[in-house]
Structure 1
């Protein structure tokens, strides 16, 4: 398959590019600065501003599926508005390119526990709340999408650079609620997140759904 990965130099994106390329897929790695994409066979790196819908659509034409790992930066003071703007531009660019499938990697904040979303809880970390709220609100927008075969992925609650478990190839799936292990932890390494998304690319198991995964 020909798979486009938006945000290819980010924490999630670079791992996903590697996983897809190692599986033999043709990967179009899209980033603000394509020079930062590691050179490897199966990977073609392109610099595109995701907010330029016309340029993005031109680059995406001919791909089978687009995976968006777009994130304007957790320390960006305007992250809420920039995330919504970028995510909606990507959605429009994918449609304009005629690509049938879009997989969006969002956040865990929109997952439900005891009837409410994590991002609305009193203990939710204030420093990531604007970005998490943006991802939650964009999921609601995506649910109204009627043309694309979309999928939204919410990572585990604990999925960050401090997770050093590595690539195990093991995970369990969920839909609207976090997946906890026997110790009450909701954890996933970024390497295994890449496996989850690559598996979804190949299987199309969650069309027009949000899903999640953890150990």
Structure 2
């Protein structure tokens, strides 16, 4: 499979690149400035999602599936999240890339009927802008009615550095927790689960959650 990863230089995006490449997939890292990238174990192409002259056809030549891992935290630009979802969905139909897999957030998962994680008092204040932005992106996908298929993959409430265990659970709209009430997944197992979904395409046009 030919896979492009937008946000490949980020923490989660980088793990997805490594996981997909380890399985023999052809991986292309999409970056804003190739001159500032060093050491990526994949082919590299230029794509600036905020450019007025967005050339997806060239950046995604021969790409089957686009993976997007952006959050806007580094530049304090959370508005880029939903804006990018809108822009990509509007433009992908003009390319041969007909599938997008989105690295989403946990804040929009339900902890009780009609109560999302981001709305509870215990949710860390510093993460709210990113969680809300990812929730807005999820709305964009749910409202989309075009030909591109999508999957929005939420991690557990806590995603952390750690070795791959290879076991995980797949949920739907509810936050997955373990017997102790914790909601956790390592970044390596999240990447493992995401690439499993890339290969199986079991959850097209759906949001899923991943946790231990």
TM-score by length of 2: 0.91
Q: 1:37 to 1:187 in 2, by over 3 A?
A: farther
Match of 2:57 in 1: 57
Alignment of 1:1-215 (within 5 A): 1-34=1-34, 35-36=36-37, 38-40=39-41, 43-52=42-51, 54-72=54-72, 74-79=73-78, 81-115=79-113, 116-146=115-145, 147-159=147-159, 163-215=160-212
Change in CA separation of 1:61 and 1:145 when aligned onto 2, cut-off 3 Å: farther
How far apart are 1:20 and its partner, in Å? 0.4
CA distance in structure 1 between the partners assigned to 2:38 and 2:193 by the alignment: 21
Moved over 4 A (4+): none
Deviation at 1:75, TM superposition (A): 4.7
Shift of 1:179: 1.3
More helix by share: 1
Cα distance between partner residues in 1 of 2:91 and 2:28: 15
Change beyond 3 A, Cα 1:132–1:37? farther
Q: Measure how far apart 1:164 and its partner are.
A: 4.0
Note the C-alpha offset of 1:78: 3.5
Q: CA RMSD in A?
A: 1.6
Contact 2:161 2:188 (8 Å CA) reproduced = no
Structure 1 unpaired stretches of 5+: none
Note closer, same or farther for the CA distance 1:29–1:78 as it changes in structure 2 (3 Å cut): closer
> CA 1:136–1:39 in 2, change beyond 3 Å: closer, same or farther?
closer
**Partner SS for 1:109:** coil
Partners of 2:161 and 2:80 in 1: how far apart? 30
Relative to the length of structure 1, the TM-score reads: 0.90
Deviation at 1:94, TM superposition (A): 2.4
